[in-house]
C-alpha cells in the first residue's frame, strides 16, 4: 500500500532542506558502507505517531535552463501539486510575505489540495507574533517552527497527518505478483508493458490504482496472476518535466512501494547513466525484489562478447545490487521476452523465501568454522545463533556477544555464504546484529 506523499515547497533559503532532514531523522534509507549506493536526499520516509509517509524535498530539485528564481519556485510548486497528497508551504518569519510567496500561494490555492503553512525561523518568543501575517496567504493552517532549534515540528506534523487520505486495502490477493517498471524517460517502459501484455494476455482490465494517475493492469500467464503497476507514459507536458530528471524518481518511488518485483529498465543502446543508479537505488533501499531489464537489445551492434561485457558494466555500476539477475529483451521485436516472466516469478519466490532456523544456523556455523571472525583490539566476535525474522525482503537477526565487533566485511561474508546455500537471487537481504541477552 502506497504511503501518503508530503511535499515541502517554498522559495529558496527558507529552510526547506533543514526541515526535511529534521522530519526524516535517521529514517532516510541509505545503505551505509556499500559502494555504489547513490545518496540522493530528494525523497525520504517520515513518521508521526502511527502514520508513515513519503516526503519530497523540492529544494533538491534542480531546474535546468533559465535561472530565474520565480521560474524555479513555480516549477517546484508544480511538481509538488502533481505528486503530493499534502503540501507543506514553507515561508520565512524574518522576511515576511514576499512576492514569491504570493505566487506559490496562488498555484497551491488553485490546486485545491491540503496546504499547511510552516513559518520557519520562529526562533524565539518575539518572533511568534510574526506568523499571523502569513494568514493573508489564504490557507487555514499556519504553524510556527524553527529548523535550527527543532521546535514546532511536532505541531506541524500533527496538522499534516490530519489531511492524509483514507487508506484502502488493495484488492489483490497473496498469489498476485505486483510488478513495477521503473527507469528514466525514453528507455522503453511503455513499449515493454505493451509487449508483455501483447497477444498473450489472458485477463486484461484497466482499474484505477491507489496512486493518482497510475494504471494497474492485471493479467494472467501460465496460471500465474500479475499486476503491472505502470508508471510509463505519464510524463507531463512542458519543459519543466522534460528537463527535471528527478521527477521520474518521484513517479518511480510510488510504484516501488506497491511492488513485489521491480523491473529496472535500462536502454541497451544508450547504456547506463547516473540517473539509472538513482532510480535502482530506491528499489534496493525499499527492500524489493529486482530484475535488470536491458531493452532495445535488437538495435545494439554485438558479437559473442557484447552481452557479457554489458552485464559486467551493470555489475560495476550497481555494486549494491549484485543479486539482481539481468535479462536482455527487445520490446519492439519481442526478442527474448519469453524469458522475462519466469525470472520475475523466481525473484518473487526468493523474495518471500523463509529458511528454517536450524538449517540457517548450520550454514552460519560452517561459515564461522571455515573463516572465524577477526579480532578487534584483542576482542573476538562470537556468533551465538541466527534467525530469520521476516520476508519481503528476507530479514535476519544475528545474536552475538558484542554487536560492535561485527565488521561490515564479515557480515558480507556471512551474507555470501547464506546466498550460496539458499539462493535468494533477485532479492536484497537485510541483516541486524543484536546482543544476546543473559536469559536467552
Instruction: Give the number of residues written for the chain.
Output: 440
Determine whether the annotation assigns residue 66 to a binding site: no
- Residue 287 in grid coordinates: 527492500
CA distance 101 to 397: 49
Q: Is 231 annotated as a binding residue?
A: yes
Flag whether 25 is marked binding.
Answer: no
Q: Is 187 labelled as part of a ligand binding site?
A: yes
Q: 149 in helix, strand or coil?
A: coil
Collapsing DSSP to helix, strand or coil, 438 comes out as coil
Is 314 labelled a binding residue?
no
Q: Is 21 annotated as a binding residue?
A: no
Cα distances (angstroms) measured from residue 367 to each of 108, 155, 363, 372, 421: 58, 50, 6, 8, 11
If you ran DSSP here, which 8-state letter would residue 18 be given? H
- Asked if residue 58 belongs to a known ligand binding site, the reply is yes
Find out whether 73 is annotated in a ligand binding site: no
Does 59 carry a binding-site annotation? yes
The verdict on whether residue 185 carries a ligand-binding annotation is yes
Is 61 among the annotated ligand-binding positions?
yes
Q: Is residue 401 a known part of a binding site?
A: no
The answer to whether the annotation marks 161 as part of a ligand binding site is no
- Is 230 assigned to a binding site? yes
Say if residue 330 carries a ligand binding annotation: no
To the question of whether residue 74 is assigned a binding role by annotation, the answer is: no
15 annotated as a binding-site residue? yes
Residue 145 is given by DSSP the state -
| In contact, 433 and 406? CB cutoff 8 Å | yes
Which residues have C-beta within 8 Å of that of residue 137, sequence separation ≥ 6?
89, 91, 97, 101, 102, 105, 117
| 150 marked as binding residue | no
**Is position 48 annotated in a ligand binding site?**
no
Residue 36 marked in a binding site: no
190 is in an annotated binding site: yes
- What is the spatial distance between Cα 98 and Cα 146, in angstroms, rounded to a whole number? 19
Nearest to 344 by CA among 277, 262, 266: 262
Q: Which three-class secondary structure state does DSSP give residue 64?
A: coil
188 is annotated as contributing to ligand binding: yes
- C-alpha distances in Å from residue 200, one per residue of 195, 217, 327, 333, 337: 9, 14, 19, 15, 11
Q: Is 121 annotated as a binding residue?
A: yes
The answer to the question of whether 384 is labelled as a binding residue is: no
75 contacts 63 by C-beta, under 8 angstroms: yes
Question: Any known ligand binding at 232?
Answer: yes
Is 362 annotated to bind ligand? Answer: no
16 annotated to a ligand binding site = yes
Does 271 show up as a binding residue in the annotation?
no
Binding residues: 10-17, 57-61, 120-123, 183-190, 230-234, 295-298
Binding residues for GTP: 10-17, 57-61, 120-123, 183-190, 230-234, 295-298
Amino acid at each position: 500500500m502506497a504511503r501518503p506523499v508530503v511535499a515541502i515547497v517554498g522559495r529558496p533559503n527558507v529552510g526547506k532542506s533543514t526541515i526535511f532532514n529534521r522530519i526524516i531523522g535517521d529514517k532516510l534509507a541509505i545503505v551505509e558502507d556499500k559502494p555504489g549506493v547513490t545518496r540522493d536526499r530528494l525523497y525520504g520516509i517520515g513518521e508521526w505517531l502511527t502514520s508513515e509517509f513519503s516526503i519530497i524535498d523540492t529544494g533538491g530539485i534542480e531546474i535546468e535552463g533559465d535561472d530565474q528564481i520565480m521560474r524555479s519556485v513555480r516549477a517546484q510548486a508544480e511538481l509538488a501539486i502533481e505528486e503530493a497528497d499534502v503540501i507543506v508551504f514553507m515561508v520565512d518569519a524574518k522576511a515576511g510575505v514576499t512576492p514569491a510567496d504570493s505566487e506559490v500561494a496562488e498555484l497551491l490555492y488553485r490546486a485545491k489540495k491540503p496546504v499547511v503553512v510552516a513559518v520557519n525561523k520562529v526562533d524565539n518568543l518575539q518572533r511568534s507574533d510574526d506568523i499571523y501575517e502569513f494568514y493573508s496567504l489564504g490557507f487555514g493552517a499556519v504553524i510556527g517552527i524553527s529548523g535550527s532549534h527543532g521546535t514546532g515540528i511536532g505541531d506541524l506534523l500533527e496538522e499534516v497527518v490530519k489531511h492524509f487520505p483514507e487508506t484502502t486495502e488493495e484488492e489483490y490477493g497473496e498469489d498476485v505478483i505486483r510488478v513495477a517498471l521503473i527507469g528514466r524517460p525514453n528507455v522503453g517502459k511503455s513499449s515493454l508493458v505493451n509487449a508483455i501484455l501483447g497477444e498473450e494476455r489472458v485477463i486484461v482490465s484497466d482499474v484505477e490504482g491507489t496512486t493518482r494517475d497510475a494504471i494497474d493492469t492485471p493479467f494472467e500467464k501460465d496460471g500465474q496472476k500479475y499486476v503491472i503497476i505502470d508508471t510509463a507514459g505519464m510524463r507531463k507536458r512542458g519543459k519543466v518535466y522534460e528537463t527535471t530528471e528527478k521527477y521520474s524518481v518521484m513517479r518511480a518511488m510510488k510504484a516501488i512501494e506497491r511492488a513485489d518485483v521491480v523491473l529496472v529498465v535500462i536502454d541497451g543502446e544508450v547504456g547506463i547513466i547516473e540517473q539509472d543508479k538513482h532510480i535502482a537505488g530506491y528499489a534496493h533501499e525499499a527492500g524489493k525484489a529486482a530484475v535488470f531489464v536491458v531493452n532495445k537489445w535488437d538495435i545494439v551492434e554485438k558479437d559473442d562478447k557484447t552481452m557479457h561485457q554489458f552485464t559486467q558494466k551493470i555489475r560495476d555500476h550497481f555494486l549494491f545490487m549484485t543479486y539482481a539477475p539481468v535479462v536482455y529483451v527487445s520490446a519492439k521485436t519481442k526478442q527474448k521476452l519469453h524469458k522475462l516472466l519466469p525470472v520475475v516469478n523466481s525473484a518473487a519466490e526468493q523474495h518471500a523465501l523463509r529458511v528454517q532456523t536450524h538449517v540457517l544456523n548450520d550454514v552460519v556455523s560452517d561459515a564461522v568454522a571455515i573463516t572465524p571472525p577477526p579480532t578487534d583490539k584483542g576482542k573476538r566476535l562470537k556468533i551465538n545463533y541466527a534467525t530469520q525474522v521476516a520476508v519481503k525482503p528476507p530479514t535476519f537477526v544475528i545474536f552475538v556477544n558484542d554487536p560492535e565487533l561485527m565488521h561490515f566485511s564479515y557480515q558480507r561474508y556471512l551474507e555470501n555464504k547464506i546466498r550460496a546455500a539458499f539462493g535468494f537471487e533477485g532479492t536484497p537481504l537485510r541483516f541486524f546484529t543484536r546482543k544476546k541477552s543473559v536469559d536467552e
